[in-house]
Amino acid sequence: MRTIRSAEQLTGYLQQYQPHPGGVLVPTMGALHQGHEALIRQAAHYAQQHNIPAGCVVTIFVNPTQFNEPQDYQRYPRTLEQDTIRCQNAGAKTIVAPTIEMVYPKGLDAPAPTLPAVAKDKGLEDQYRPGHFQGVAKVLQNLFTMLPPTAAIFGEKDYQQLLLAQALVRQLNLPIEILPGPTVRDHDALALSSRNRFLSGQQRLAASAIPQALRNAHDQPTIARAQAAMHDTLAHLSIEYATIRHAHTLETLPPDTPQDATCPRRAIIACRLGDTRLLDNAPWPLPPDSPLRNL
Ligand code: PAF
C-alpha cells in the first residue's frame, strides 16, 4: 500500500492508473473506525470482482468547506498514522492524503455545483448544517476530477449525503457508480461514527436510544405513530429531527401512510448530545435481516 501526500507523487500515480486512478474510491476525512474499514473491505472486494487495476483508493482529507463552525474543523481528529494501519488491514491499495491546494486548485471560494434536490429544502442536514452540502458537493466534484474513480462508496449512515453523491454524479454526467455501504454498529447498536469519541460516558449510554428509536418505529402501523414512537424514545436527547421520508426523494409523506404502503421509506434521526451531533437511519419498516430488529 502506498500513501500519496504531494502533487508530485500524485502526478506519477495518475500516469500509472489512467483512465480510472481513483479505482473504487472511499472518500473519508480520516479518524477511521471499523465502519470505514468495512467500506474499504467492500471497495477492495468490488475492485477485485470487477478487475479494477487501481483497487481500493482511500482519500483522507478534512474538508474545510463543509464545516459550519471553525472550531469543529479545528477539533476534527487528525490521525493519519492509525488510519494508515486500518487502511492497510482492510485491503486498501492506495491512500491519497492531499493538501488543500491539491483539492482546491481554484481556491476554497470557487463556486459549488448546483445542489441536487435531495440536498436542499428537506428540513434535514440541509437545514441544521446550512452550507454543509455545498462544501460536500464541492469537495466531491474536485476529488472526482482529481482522481476519476470507476465507483465510489458512501456509508448509509450519512443517508442524505449518500443520496447527494448519487444525484451529483447523475447531474454532472460522471460515469461513476455510487455504492452504498451498510452502517456498522457497536455492541448496543449505536452507529459507529468518528464523533462517538467526543461523548462522555453518560452521553454514550444515552446515545443507545437512537438505534432503539429506529427499532421502536418499526412495529407502528402508520408514519405518524412511528414518528411519535421515535420522539418518545429520544425524549431525553436533544432531537433535531426524527422523521420518516420517501427513501429516494426525502420528501415528507402523508402521516397516515401505512406500514404496508409500496413506496420505499426511511426513518432518519439527528440528535445532539452536548456539542456532538449523531445521525442514524434505517428503512421503515425494518427489513427481516436488520440487526435492529433484535434490540
Ligand atoms: O462523510 C465524510 O467523511 C465526508 O463528508 C466526505 C464524503 C469524505 C466529504 O468530505
Q: What's the confidence (pLDDT) of residue 21?
A: 94
Residue 69 pLDDT > 90:
no
Cα 222 to ligand 1 centre (Å): 33
Q: Which residues contact 176 (CB under 8 A, 6 or more apart)?
A: 144, 148, 149, 150, 151, 152, 169
Q: With contact defined as beta carbons under 8 Å apart, do 265 and 283 qualify?
A: yes
Predicted pLDDT of residue 68 = 86
- Same fold for the pair 2-181 and 194-294: no
Owner of C-alpha cell 428509536: 213
Is the minimum distance from the CB of 63 to ligand 1 under 6 angstroms? yes
Determine if ligand 1 sits within 6 Å of the CB of residue 139: yes
What's the pLDDT score for residue 72? 85
User: Which protein residue has the closest C-alpha to ligand 1 atom 1?
Assistant: 28
Spatial distance between the Cα atoms of 94 and 59, rounded to a whole number of angstroms: 8
Query: Is the confidence at residue 191, as pLDDT, over 90?
Result: yes
Mean pLDDT of the chain: 97
Ligand 1 within 6 A of CB of 158: yes
Nearest CA to ligand 1 atom 5: 136
pLDDT at 101 over 90: yes
How far apart CA 24 and CA 75 sit, in angstroms, is: 29
Look at residue 75 and tell me whether its pLDDT is greater than 90. no
Contacts from 105-110 at CB under 8 Å and sequence distance 24+? 108/64, 108/65, 110/138
Short-list 200, 214, 235, 111, CA closest to 159? 214
Domain 194-294 in this protein, CATH class: alpha beta
Cα 29 to middle of ligand 1, angstroms: 6
pLDDT in tens, 6-63: 999 999 999 999 999 999 999 999 999 999 999 999 999 999 999 999 999 999 999 9
Q: Is the pTM of this model over 0.95?
A: yes
pLDDT for 25: 98
Give the CATH H-level superfamily of domain 2-181: HUPs (3.40.50.620)
pLDDT of the residue at 236 = 95
Rounded to 10 deg, the angle between the 223-233 and 209-218 helix axes is 160
Domains of the chain: which residue ranges? 2-181, 194-294
Collapsing DSSP to helix, strand or coil, 212 comes out as helix
Contact (CB, 8 A) for 142 and 104: yes
CB 153 within 8 A of CB 24: yes
Name the residue of 142, 153, 158 whose CB sits within 8 Å of the most ligand 1 atoms, as the mutation to test its pocket: 158
What average pLDDT does the segment 213-227 reach?
98
Residue 28 Cβ inside 6 Å of ligand 1? The answer reads: yes
- Dihedral angle, C-alpha 288, 166, 177, 289, nearest 10 °: -10
Instruction: Tell me what pLDDT residue 66 has.
Output: 97
CA 261 to ligand 1 centroid distance, Å: 33
Task: List, for residues 228-276, the tens digit of each pLDDT value.
Answer: 999 999 999 999 999 999 999 999 999 999 999 999 999 999 999 999 9
Nearest CA among 252, 259, 256 for reference residue 285 = 259
Of the residues 20, 36, 132, 218, only one is catalytic, namely: 36
Residue nearest to atom 9 of ligand 1 (CA): 136
36 in catalytic set = yes
- Non-local CB neighbours of 255 within 8 Å, separated by 6+ positions: 222, 223, 224, 227
Cα of 90 vs centre of ligand 1, distance in Å, is 19
Indicate which residue's Cα is closest to atom 8 of ligand 1: 28
List alpha helices for the chain, DSSP H: 7-16, 34-49, 70-75, 80-90, 100-103, 125-128, 132-146, 159-171, 201-206, 209-218, 223-233
Q: 273 CA to middle of ligand 1, Å?
A: 21
pLDDT for 215: 98
- Give the mean pLDDT of 275-283: 96
**Mapped to the 3 state alphabet, what secondary structure does 111-136 carry?**
CCCCCCHHHCCCCCHHHHCCCHHHHH
Q: Is 294 exposed, middle or buried (0-12, 13-18, 19+ CB in 10 A)?
A: exposed
